[in-house]
Structure 1
């Protein structure tokens, strides 16, 4: 039996572009995905948190996944987001399998704060629903203990664990107990902030929000981190990553709307429109982000290759 693998390195999470009326711009989505692939992201995850998973219909979900499959076209793995209502999650998993995705990231259930046996039932039901690869995402209403994660590892479809909580004692325990059975993924807000700590406990992969508009910063940061160039890591933290993180913390929902603002600033074909209950970026925060991005390009220019 062929060993299943999970994407490694920097993972790309495209937004879901929308026009002023709130309709999804599938052409812009396709361009976003092409941009991320060209910039070297190791996998594409559509219709996840950055893609406003919470606010899209089943019909829109199907259209988004179809664009994702067409644009990745085997160049990099295509993963989708599934979750929320259990019936919807299974339906989304089946759509992903039908359209040709490689796997999915399981997002938390809505509203309910489940017991461990309830959470195991929720996650295992989704994992078993198709033969696709599955990655579980620990955040919000989906916080596992070691025994629950061990049980889920009995399913060959499970290939990865993504952490968005930041309980270092727990993630160290998980990585020690389960080892290379899973790919360990840093899914913390603006993961570049915490990646130096996560790398030391075996997390070699992370999702990058800023790669949607300044992917060269993500690439330079990760290269410096892997090479032990902590001077460069700290400089990027000081000049770019932490300043963006400070803006992101100013308002709930900026995990999505700040990405769209950054993409608009650098000239990518994405408007700043978001769906409720997420709010757009406030003008003063937009201006602050413009200044940080300007610094990013001046102090850390895009590396050019000579043929």
Structure 2
């Protein structure tokens, strides 16, 4: 029975799903991706989530990804999986996560349909209560959680956190002031570094970092600078790294996933450019732009040499 009821804090790692040219999951490259994130000190691993192209995974691939993550981390950090969308599939994947030894799961919003708040509460509650694993509920896209919905979920011990991907700061202020430390608060906005300085004062103490798949040391410098109120460094990182990457990311739908793979390849962590429909690989000109940004970023913020990197 999982009795440690607390959401992970800090910078959260979201590994990608590496696919071969034959559209098969490459478990070896996935293991390398996760080990890299561990070596870089990320505080938790969230596998088979949006960055891992969750909607495109078969049951067998999902099982394999969870097993690889649990094996590689070996208890060093919590492992969370992605569940959500179809309620029946969610329940099945939640059970797989429990059997494979994950610590919890991130419950993604229901797919396509929009329900009343009572229906959303029942959706998240049903999945959360289906196992003893910790659960983090994710508001994004068409799903915005009310105080009443979170009051219902606050009665479920398994629900340890709320992840926000909407950016409605009025709502976030209301929710954090109402529930305070009952939940852990996670920033799940696209390229969360862009918004993290606005989230920290509200009590958000963790965020999902896409760029940590390829420049984790810069994500760490940024977050520490935010926490230490080192505005000069924050501004410099915004100008020369974070906003330029975000500008590319916003040019095409799907770049939230494919740009990660491009960045990894540029940084010598080759996972290929293979993505699953409807996502498309990064276009050549945008790839070249990212190469330039990352070269300049490393010139300004070289990666420290550590024993693990030798």
Aligned match of 2:279? 278
Kindly state the Cα deviation for residue 305 of structure 1 after the two structures are TM-superposed. Answer: 4.8
Deviations 1:105-163 (A, max 9, x none): 00111110111111111111100100000000111132211110111010000111000
C-alpha separation in 2, matches of 1:199 and 1:135: 18
Q: Is the 8 A contact 1:240 1:292 kept in 2?
A: yes
What SS does the aligned partner of 2:186 have? Answer: strand
Match in the other structure for 1:105: 106
Pairing of 1:187-226 with structure 2 (within 5 A)? 187-226=188-227
Deviation at 1:287, TM superposition (A): 0.3
Question: Structure 2 matches for 1:152-231, cutoff 5 A?
Answer: 152-231=153-232
Q: CA deviation at 1:306?
A: 8.1
**Aligned residue for 2:25?**
24
Matched, 1:33 2:34: yes
Q: Quote the Cα distance in structure 2 between the aligned partners of 1:109 and 1:126.
A: 11
Tell me if structure 2 keeps the 8 A contact 1:110–1:141.
Answer: no
Q: Deviations over 1:244-286 (max 9, x none)?
A: 0000000000000000000011111311110001011000000
Give the Cα separation in 2 of the matches to 1:237 and 1:163: 21
Q: Which residue of 2 aligns with 1:13?
A: 14
Matched with 2:68 is 67
What does residue 121 of structure 1 align with? Answer: 122
Aligned partners of 2:28 and 2:243: how far apart in 1? 32
Query: So what's the TM-score if we normalise by structure 1?
Result: 0.98
In structure 1, what is the Cα distance between the partners aligned to 2:204 and 2:151? 18
- Please give the alpha-carbon distance, in whole angstroms, between the structure 1 residues aligned to 2:109 and 2:220: 29
Give the match for residue 262 of structure 1.
263
The answer for the alignment partner of 1:243 in structure 2 is 244
Please give the alpha-carbon distance, in whole angstroms, between the structure 2 residues aligned to 1:260 and 1:149.
35
Which stretch of the first structure deviates more once superposed, 205-214 or 116-125? 116-125
* Equivalent position SS for 2:192: coil
SS class of match (1:44): strand
Contact 1:114–1:141 (8 Å) recurs in 2: no
Gaps of 5+ in 2: none
Q: Is the 1:248–1:254 contact (alpha carbons within 8 Å) kept by the matching residues of 2?
A: yes
The alignment status of 1:50 with 2:51, answered yes or no, reads yes
Kindly report structure 1 stretches of 4+ aligned residues shifted beyond 6 Å.
none
Alpha-carbon distance in 2 for matches of 1:267, 1:165: 33
In structure 1, stretches of 5+ residues that fail to align are none
SS of equivalent residue, structure 2 residue 194: coil
- Give the TM-score normalised by structure 2: 0.97
Q: Deviations over 1:3-25 (max 9, x none)?
A: 51111000000000011121110
Q: Report if the CA contact (8 A) 1:109-1:141 is conserved.
A: no
Shift of 1:26: 0.5
Per the alignment, residue 144 of structure 1 pairs with 145
Alignment RMSD:
1.3
* CA distance in structure 2 between the aligned counterparts of 1:142 and 1:126, rounded to whole angstroms: 16
